[in-house]
Structure 1
Amino acid sequence: MDDTKRVKEVLLNYSFDDPTVEFIRHNENMTYKVIDNGSEDAYLLRIHKPITKNMQGVQTTREAIRSELQYLLAWSSHSEMPVQIPVPNRNGELVSRIVIEGEEVHCSVLKWIYGDTMSKSDFANRETVSALGKRLASLHQFSQSFENDSSWIRPEYGIAWVNTMLTKLRSGETMGVITTEEFHLLEHAVLLVIDRMKGWSTGFETRGFIHADIHYSNLIRTSRGISFIDFGLSGFGYYAMDVALGALFTASELRDELLSGYVSMGSGIIDIAQLEDLMFLNISDYYAFLVSRTEKHMWIREHIPSLIQLCKALLEGNTVFYHMNQVGIRI
């Protein structure tokens, strides 16, 4: 089945009147913009089939997708900014399904948020950086009050996640994409962070539901302020992880503004050392993802020296928060 027929089959599950479809991208999901020509409303169609097998996980299961959408429904009733509201199918269900190459794949539809996708250059602006910190604090404060039952399931971003990432990096050594010396430095730095994670607080004020993929391409500037999109990787983790991801694309000299905006909402004190560790882990996780994509191996070889320098700085106990660049976390 080609993509056009596949999308048309999915859309039959929804009450659209003469929809037109535009492909957006294929990463953790296959995504499409849908315009309902009858109403001129716009939607986001997600077919939850990752581009590589190593991106598959609990987040692609029916239960986890439904959990994400339930969170978005709850968040939409509290957020001051637009939210990607889930759209039920003709049967009133939030998750639909399609069979691709004999495999059952889940699908979902969200309302489109109108606005401009933000860029890295936006976060060289003091007011914008502070606003992002405040928006992250609001999201996390809602997460602290969000109630879910035993059927609610999302990925966990803890030590098991880090160990899985390390296994993927080890496969890069096996393939010759990462040298043995580079991997050993990566491994030592990761194990150091794991050891520190064991002492981190796991109370409700420090850990809960997070976006887990904060990046300028997942931020929309709307008429009412910054809105978050793409909760596809959201799950349970340290709130500081979202802040760390935001810091990665914020100009170094403005990172204090990000933290000030965050704590100004009553979200508590941020531990710089913890942010450094989480920034390093998320950069490393991106390299681990790229290892499975042969066409990205040359890119890894070109950029990994920066990551190795970061490993050395962490192992030497140097403070890197104000000097850490993006190190290719996105291409």
Structure 2
Amino acid sequence: MMVERSILNQILDLVGNSSKDIHLLGGYFDNVYEIPSEHPIVVKIFNREVDLEEQIISELAWTIYLHEHGVDVAIPIVIKETSYIQHLTDTLFFVAYKKLKGNHVDIHSEVWKEPLFNQWGRAMGAMHSLSKQYKGECKRPVWHEHKIIHMNMDQFDPFIKSKWKNYLHELHSMLQSKDTYGIIHGDLHHHNFLYESGNLTVIDFGDSEYHWYAYDIAIAIYHASQTVKDLDKRRKFAYKFFKSFMEGYLVENSDIKEIVNDIDFFINYRHLYSYVYHSQFLEISKINEQQLQYLDNMRRSIIDQDSYLGIALV
């Protein structure tokens, strides 16, 4: 998303910052900015053609609920005592957040070990437990409403197209219960929490939706395991991560009997989903050779390997 300077200046005026200092932090669509000051603010810019305003409102309502019930999450701030949502143009709007303490975890640091994985699992377990009680009027989307589920797959390899179809058939046939299905974060990898002095704060709930809890757990395992390139070491790491993560998860949500058996299925589904998602939404003309190679390696692994890890965790 290319944001014009005039739009950024409009944001600065709305938040009452006269310094005109604002810089890009990132985000999948380059839509997250920081306004440095004595009390720094992070703003996330949305395009109404992509992100429906009612869905953003439901995301904010969910995160506020989690915060009110003791989960350490990023919550929005009201601008000019009016609303969490601030309109910029007919299509653009933004939400502001107080910048949180903490940093993204360096996977090469001493922090990247079992106590962190345990805390990560505990945060997810708490969110899943609260999901069972949530009665918010603003409903999060349901997994099968995502546009990726309904897109044309003709551009993909026939094997991948067939495999995608089989996964969706399996998902549509899976049973749902209050212990297995509810609101998940949907993208809780290590870039979507901040960590400092033992405190873990969950951020970026844009992919939160109604889905199976096992999928949320599988996402964490999948992305953590991706940090290990050697296949044998990756398998050992996955076991270690899974054990520590689930020990923490169980502290907050003990009803896992019906969840754990689906985790291996969802790890493999996440691998395919990630390939399909990036292939569909990345602008191929704007990505570099390394990114193209990464996508091709994903494609080959989906075709050549029966499972992403090559082992079953459960």
RMSD: 3.1
Output aligned runs, 1:145-160, within 5 Å: 145-149=133-137, 152-158=138-144
Q: What residue identity is the alignment partner of 1:105? A: L
Output aligned runs, 1:258-269, within 5 Å: 258-265=245-252, 266-269=254-257
Residues 137, 121 of structure 1: alpha-carbon distance in 2 compared, 3 angstrom cutoff:
farther
Q: What residue identity is the alignment partner of 1:137? A: G
Would you say how many aligned residue pairs link Structure 1 and Structure 2?
Answer: 293
TM-score, normalised with respect to structure 2: 0.80
Output aligned runs, 1:1-331, within 5 Å: 3-16=4-17, 18=19, 20-28=21-29, 30-36=31-37, 40-49=38-47, 57=50, 60-81=51-72, 83-99=73-89, 103-121=90-108, 125-149=113-137, 152-158=138-144, 163-164=149-150, 167=152, 169-171=153-155, 173=156, 183-248=157-222, 249-250=224-225, 251-254=237-240, 255-265=242-252, 266-269=254-257, 271=259, 274-291=262-279, 292-294=282-284, 295-296=286-287, 298=289, 299-311=291-303, 313-314=305-306, 320-322=311-313
Q: Report SS of the residue matched to 1:217.
A: coil
Residues 314, 195 of structure 1: alpha-carbon distance in 2 compared, 3 angstrom cutoff:
farther
**Cα offset for 1:196?**
2.5
TM-score, normalised with respect to structure 1: 0.77
Contact (CA 8 Å) 1:63, 1:153: kept in 2 or not? no
Residues 34, 74 of structure 1: alpha-carbon distance in 2 compared, 3 angstrom cutoff:
same
Residues 105, 170 of structure 1: alpha-carbon distance in 2 compared, 3 angstrom cutoff:
same
Contact (CA 8 Å) 1:73, 1:85: kept in 2 or not? yes
Q: Give the Cα–Cα distance (whole angstroms) in 1 for the partners of residues 174 and 259 of structure 2.
A: 10
Contact (CA 8 Å) 1:34, 1:42: kept in 2 or not? yes
Structure 2 residues not aligned, in runs of 5+ = 226-236
Q: Give the Cα–Cα distance (whole angstroms) in 2 for the partners of residues 196 and 303 of structure 1.
A: 25
Q: Report SS of the residue matched to 1:106.
A: strand
**Cα offset for 1:121?**
4.2
**Cα offset for 1:313?**
4.2
**Cα offset for 1:154?**
3.0
